[in-house]
Structure formats: C-alpha cells, structure tokens
Amino acid sequence: MTGKRKNTNSPTGSGPKKQRKAIDLDIKMKVINEHEGGKKVQAIADSHGFSHSTISTILKNKSSIKEMAKLSTGYSALLTRQRKGLVHGMEKMLSVWIDDNIEKNIPVSLGLIQSKALSIFNTLKTREGEGYTETFTASKGWFQRFRTRFSLHNRGVYG
C-alpha cells in the first residue's frame, strides 16, 4: 500500500504548482471593451496571454468589474475579490477623505487617519442599528493593508 503523495518535483510528477497572477482593473476593462466590440473570447485570450477560462470569468463578472472601475481612484487597482460590510464602506469613505485632504495640501498622518477611520466606522455602525456586531480597530496592520488596497503609497501620506 502506497500512502504517499506523488513527488511533484520529480520527472514523473505533475510539476510545481502554477502561481496565481492578479490582473489589474485596467486590463479587465480592456478585455470587457474588446468583447463588447465584437472580438471573440479566444482571440482576446491569445492577445493578452491568458487562458480562455480566465477571460470567461472576467466577462462573467463584468457588471461588478464595471462598478468597481467607476469607484476606482484612477490608479492601477487590483480587484481579486469584492469586500463587503461596514469596514469596506468606511474604507471607501476614508479614501475619499484622504484624497480631499491631499488635494487641499493638508498633511495626513497615521494617527489622524486612524482616528478618522474609527470616527467614520462608529458613525456607520450607529446608522446600522443596535443589532450590528461588527467590530473594528484601526491598528497599524489594518493601515498597512488599507494602504495597499487603496494605493496610498502613491499619494503622499505622512507619518
């Protein structure tokens, strides 16, 4: 009885696992526009170097991709999954607030962003009602992930 798995690094194995690639929003919108222009799925896949199934998945989710493109901040955003909930709503509002302050040349620091994030979250939570139990702490780890999600490293955040 052989209870061992195949050695994927051996010549008889299937080889190393293929790495996933995140496709940015600009490329997804190009794919959607090409398909709406009448181009076939396989031709789009060949021109961009993706598989047929990848292009089909993008086209299947085109309504949500178009919505995210409208809400995008204009940078090459990566849309790998859609986020929901109060924290996501708070982050979108916070991003707009940060953009507004940077446009007005008002310096924005980590502490200021964290306090504003908590303020916005608490306001949204009170609007939602007493039955809402989601919690949020504006930690440094949250801020680092927020910076990555909203490309803040490109927009001059201080602190």
- Locate the domains of the chain by residue range: 25-71, 86-154
- The per-residue pLDDT for 135 is 84
Tell me whether domains 25-71 and 86-154 share a fold.
Answer: yes
In this structure, which CATH number among 1.10.760, 1.10.3300, 1.10.10, 3.30.70 belongs to the domain 25-71?
Answer: 1.10.10
The CATH-assigned architecture of domain 86-154 is Orthogonal Bundle (1.10)
**Cα–Cα distance between 48 and 32 in angstroms, integer?**
12
Q: pTM (2 decimals)?
A: 0.49
pLDDT tens-digit profile, the chain (159 residues)? 555 655 555 555 556 777 777 888 888 989 999 999 999 999 999 998 889 999 999 999 888 888 877 776 554 555 555 566 788 889 989 999 998 998 898 888 889 999 999 999 989 888 887 777 778 888 999 998 888 888 776 555 554
**Cα–Cα distance between 72 and 119 in angstroms, integer?**
23
DSSP helix/strand/coil, 29? helix
Q: What are phi and psi of 31, to 5 degrees?
A: -60, -45
